[in-house]
Amino acid sequence: MIRFDHVHKTYKGSVVALKDVTVDIKRGEFVFVVGPSGSGKTTFLSLVTKEERADSGEIWVAGKEVGSLPPWKVPYLRRNIGCIFQDFRLLPERTVYDNVAFALEVTGRPRHFVRSQVPQILELVGLGNKMGRRPGELSGGEQQRVAVARAFVNRPLILLADEPTGNLDPATTAGIMRLLERINQYGTTVVMATHHQEIVDAMRKRVIELDHGVVVRDQARGVYGMVGA
C-alpha cells in the first residue's frame, strides 16, 4: 500500500530529514512510526500525501508512484488518504456536521450522499448527539474524534495520523486508539507517528523507528524502545 524505495529528503540549509529510507507497508497494516523530535516522522507522512517532494528514490502509494504524479492528479491521490493531526485542524466557525460534510463536498459528492454518510460516521465516533456543536464547544478528545470522522468519511485506503494523541489525557487517548484500531479492522491501513510509549507498548503493532532520518528499526509486534534495551 505504501512503499518507500531508497528515499532521500533534505530541507533548505542541508537539514537531512530522511536518508535512504526503504520500507514497505502492506494493505490493512497498523504501523507506528516512532523516534525523537526531528527524526523525520512528519516528513515521512508528508511525502505520502505529496505535501513534500523527495529529492531521490521512489514512493509508491496505492499503486501509484507519487513522484511522477502530475499536480492535477495529486487531489485524487489524497482522496485515498485520510489525515489527522495533533492540533485537529478543524474549521472553528463550522459545526461538527459541516466539518465532516466539508470533506465530502470538496470531492463533489451529491448532497443526498453527504446527508446519509455524515450522521453515520459521527455515530461511529460517538458524536451522533453533537452534530450541531462547534469545535470550540467540544473537549480535545471530542475534537479529535471529529477529525477522525472527517478523515474516515471518504473511506480512505490509508489513514495517516501525526501525533494524534499529543494533546489528550490518557483516558481520551485510549478512546482515540480504540477508534483507530476499529478503522484499521475495516481494512484501512493506519500509519501513526507518535511519542506515546504506553500505547505503542500496549498495542504491539509493527514499529518503524527513525533516528536522524534513518530507519534504525523495523519490527513486527514491536514496542516503543528496543526490546531489552
Partner 1 sequence: MALPSSYLLRETGGNLARNIVMTVAAVVTMAVSLTALGGVLIMRQAVNKATVQYQGGVELDIFLNPNASAQEVNGIRQELVSMTPTQIKKCSYVDKTAAFTEFRQMFSGQPDMLKVMTPSRMPTSFRCVPAKAQNVGQLAAEFSKQPGVYNVGYPGQEIKQWLAHFATLRNVTLVVAGGVMIGAIALVVNTIQLAIFARRREVAVMKLVGATNWFIRVPFMLEGLVEGLVGAAVAFVITFTARNTFASFTGTNPLLPSEPLNVSSHEALLTGVLVVVVGAAVGALGSAFAVRRHLSV
Binding site for partner 1 (CB under 8 A): 49-50, 71-72, 74-79, 83, 89, 91, 102-103, 105-108, 150, 154
Of all helices (H) and strands (E), which one includes residue 186? none
- Nearer Cβ to partner 1, position 31 or 103? 103
Min. distance of Cβ 14 from partner 1 in angstroms? 26
Min. distance of Cβ 174 from partner 1 in angstroms? 26
In the chain the beta strands, taken as DSSP E runs, fall at 2-11, 15-25, 30-34, 56-61, 64-65, 81-85, 158-162, 189-193, 206-211, 214-219
Alpha-carbon distance of 213 to 141, in angstroms, equals 31
- Nearer Cβ to partner 1, position 154 or 173? 154
Give the strands of the sheet with 2-11, arranged side by side. 15-25, 2-11, 56-61, 64-65
- Nearer Cβ to partner 1, position 49 or 172? 49
DSSP count for the chain of H helices, then E strands: 7, 10
Min. distance of Cβ 79 from partner 1 in angstroms? 4
- Nearer Cβ to partner 1, position 27 or 111? 111
Min. distance of Cβ 103 from partner 1 in angstroms? 4
SS3 216: strand
Q: Are 183 and 148 in contact (CB under 8 A)?
A: yes
Min. distance of Cβ 78 from partner 1 in angstroms? 4
- Nearer Cβ to partner 1, position 1 or 103? 103
Q: Are 176 and 143 in contact (CB under 8 A)?
A: no
